[in-house]
Amino acid sequence: MGQTTLPNRMHHHAHVVRDQEVTRRFYEDVLGFPLVATWCEVEDVRGKVREYCHTFYGLADGSALAFFQFADAVDYEELNSTKAGSLGHIALEVDASAQHELVRRLDAADSRYRVIDHGYCTSLYVLDPDGLTVEFTVDAPEVDEINERRRTDAHAELERWLAGDRHPNNDWRAGH
């Protein structure tokens, strides 16, 4: 495999929403992400001139979650990528205290969420107002050991699974 240049960080993750104000209340007021930019545009998007508002909510590393609202409601139906039951999501790394604070904020806002201990990390999942799943992940204390083991066997484990051997390899999950 040739050498590649890895990105420095995520710049932004974009999603189409119905209502920027509902989105702002959720991300800024409930989750505490600051609104850092709003761009109002008219341009050709996928073969049609569209009017839209593009907002960015900042993360600690300088990256952002970004959201489009189109003036024409038909554009939402055409360009929204969230499908019921989809596994599509954005995952953000946080520490345990930040995850606990998010649970507190979600409880205070009467927002539904779920927490799953995957063994290698503990994840808090919440749906935003437009159905985007946002995951807040706390790595396990032995994350360096776990990552090294998975780096060492990543190709072999993929080949094994693709060949039909589907036994789990997550020794860190409780009950495994």
Q: What pTM was computed for the model?
A: 0.77
pLDDT digits (tens, 9 = 90+) for 41-88: 888 888 899 989 999 999 999 899 999 999 999 998 888 876 655 566
Q: Pick the residue with more confidence: 92 or 11?
A: 92
In this predicted structure, the answer to whether residue 1 has a pLDDT above a threshold of 60 is no
Distances (CA, A) of 66 to 9, 16, 30, 80: 15, 9, 16, 13
pLDDT score for 126: 94
Q: Parallel, antiparallel, or unpaired: how do β-strands 89-93 and 133-139 relate?
A: parallel
pLDDT score for 57: 93
**DSSP reduced 3-state for 75:** helix
pLDDT-derived band at 2, boundaries 50, 70, 90? low
> Given 3.30.420.40, 3.30.505.10, 3.10.180.10, 3.40.50.360, which CATH number is that of 7-80?
3.10.180.10
> Left, alpha or beta for 85 (phi > 0: left; psi -120 to 50: alpha)?
left
In this predicted structure, the answer to whether residue 4 has a pLDDT above a threshold of 90 is no
> Once rounded to an integer, what is the mean pLDDT over residues 86-95?
81
pLDDT score for 7: 66
CA-CA distance, 131 to 16, in Å (whole number)?
10
pLDDT digits (tens, 9 = 90+) for 6-32: 667 787 898 999 999 999 999 999 999
Amino acid letter for position 7 = P
